[in-house]
Amino acid sequence: MAFAEYPIAPPHADAPRPPLLVQLHDWVVTVDHKRLGIMYICSGLLFFAVAGLEASIMRWQLAFPQHEMVSPEVFNRLFTMHGTTMVFFFGMPIILGLANYLIPLMIGARDLAFPRLNAFGFWLALFGGVLLYFSYLGGEGLAGAGTAPDVGWFAYAPLTERAFSRGHSTDYWILSLLVSGIGSVATSINVVTTVFCMRCKA
C-alpha cells in the first residue's frame, strides 16, 4: 500500500515577529484565558519573590540573640507585608491563574464566560498588590510616622487603632485588600459561571 508524500513546510517560518511594543500591548489588552492565567501566575511568583526576601530578613533577624539588624518597628512591617503578600498576592493569584488556564480546557469551553470581566479582575488584583507596596512611599502621610503597614496580616484590633499604627499605612493595607478582593471575587464568579453554563454536553 503506497502513501502519497507531501512536503511539509514549517509553519510561518518566514513570518516576521511583531515588534516588542506590539507584543507587550497584546499581552496588556488580552482577554484570552490562557494569557491571563499565565499573567496571574507570573504576578504571583513576583510577589512570592518579594515575600521571600522579607521572610529572609526576618529569619536573619531571629538567627542570633540580641540581633539588631532591623528595629522592632521594621520587623512588624516586614511581618505584616510578608503575611499579607503570601496569603493574598501569592496564594490567590496562583490558584486563580491555574483555574483561568485549565478550567476552560478541562470542560471544553472556548474561554471563560466573561472574558472582559476576567481581564478586569486580574488588573484589579495586580493593582491591589501594587497599592499595598506603594505604602512604603505613601504610607507616612501627614502624621510623619510609619511607612508600610505594621498591624500583622490579620490586623486585629487594637493594633489598627491610631495609637498603635500612626500615619496612613493601615489605610493602604485596607484599600489594597479591598481592591484585590473585588478582583478575586470577579474572577471567581467568572470561573463558577463558566463551569455551570459552558460545559460540553456529554
Residue 8: per-residue pLDDT: 65
Residue type, 47: F
Residue 156: per-residue pLDDT: 85
Distance CA 118, CA 96 (A): 10
Q: What is the pTM of this model?
A: 0.86
Cell of 109: 469551553
Residue 182: per-residue pLDDT: 97
Residue 165: per-residue pLDDT: 76
Residues 6 or more apart in contact with residue 97 via CB below 8 angstroms: 36, 37, 38, 39, 40, 41, 44
Q: Of the candidates 146, 143, 190, which has an alpha carbon nearest to the alpha carbon of residue 165?
A: 146
Tens place of pLDDT for every residue, the chain, 202 residues? 556 666 666 666 566 888 999 999 999 999 999 999 999 999 999 999 999 999 999 999 999 998 889 988 889 999 999 999 999 999 999 999 999 999 999 999 999 999 999 999 999 999 999 999 988 877 665 455 557 888 888 888 888 887 777 778 888 899 999 999 999 999 999 999 999 999 887 6
Cα distances from 89 to residues 115, 125, 131, in angstroms, run: 21, 8, 11
